[in-house]
Amino acid sequence: MRRYVIAGNWKMNFTPSQATAFINEIKPMVEGKDNCDIVFCAPYVTIAAAMEAAKGSNIKIGAENVHFEAKGAYTGEVSAEMLKEIGVEYVIIGHSERRQYFGETDETVNKRTKAALAAGMKVLLCLGEVKEQRLAGITKEIVSMQTKLDLAGISAEDMKNVIIAYEPVWAIGTGLTATPEQADETCGQIREALAEIYGAEVAEATIIQYGGSMNEKNAAELLAKTNVDGGLIGGASLVAEKFTAIVDAAQ
Ligand code: PEP
């Protein structure tokens, strides 16, 4: 059975001291809520403080990206080995903001995913269609293509450490949410693409989250859908009560 993963993406929010205060606030609120994995992905400089605050709790801290090369002249980038050494277990790769503002492509997403997996990390691999693609009726083709390109050369064994976050780009940070039916249908289409690559067993075992303005009001309906195995949450992951309500919806 697939286990819910409720993950926050803090984006460029929370300094180390702010993250410490936030984790100290939310820790008792999510204590014992063990029907899901709880992860917050933090800016690089905030990771260590957040981890320290989360010690001994059911909260895990991840990163928001990782570079594909092991080391070298890549100013501003951080390697998988660096993250691994400070104990990072989860990393977001391919977020639409990275693709949109920082030139990431399916090729770089694929390379980063391979590097993270080789270092033994779990990847939250983001993909999803833009508004024009949904309106044109080609969502299935887009998510299927992204799934295949982003996972090219990644083994069935490694898929145990890949979580896919289906994030319709038009729903991220916009207050617009896919309907539960749209989320379920598209997560199901991603599962079909996984079945084409890896077969039914891997497809059925892979955790597929929904992301895109998930909040305390819509989480229960989205998470109730067969193909939705959790959430990747931006805005609502910055407010302890809202995020806890989403965790509650997964219980
Ligand atoms: C995200 O950053 O992945 C996201 C889904 O953001 P939001 O929840 O704010 O739409």
pLDDT in tens, 156-200: 999 999 999 999 999 999 989 999 999 999 999 999 999 999 999
- pLDDT (mean) for 22-44: 98
Residue 220 near residue 200, CB atoms below 8 Å: no
Gap from CA of 114 to ligand 1 centroid (Å): 24
pLDDT category, 211, cuts 50, 70, 90? very high
The ligand 1 site (C-beta within 6 Å) comprises 9, 11, 167, 172-173, 211-214, 232-236
CA gap 212, 199 in Å, rounded: 28
Query: Are the beta carbons of 237 and 8 closer than 8 angstroms?
Result: yes
Q: Which atom of ligand 1 is nearest to the CA of 165?
A: 3
Contact between 209 and 215 (Cβ < 8 Å): no
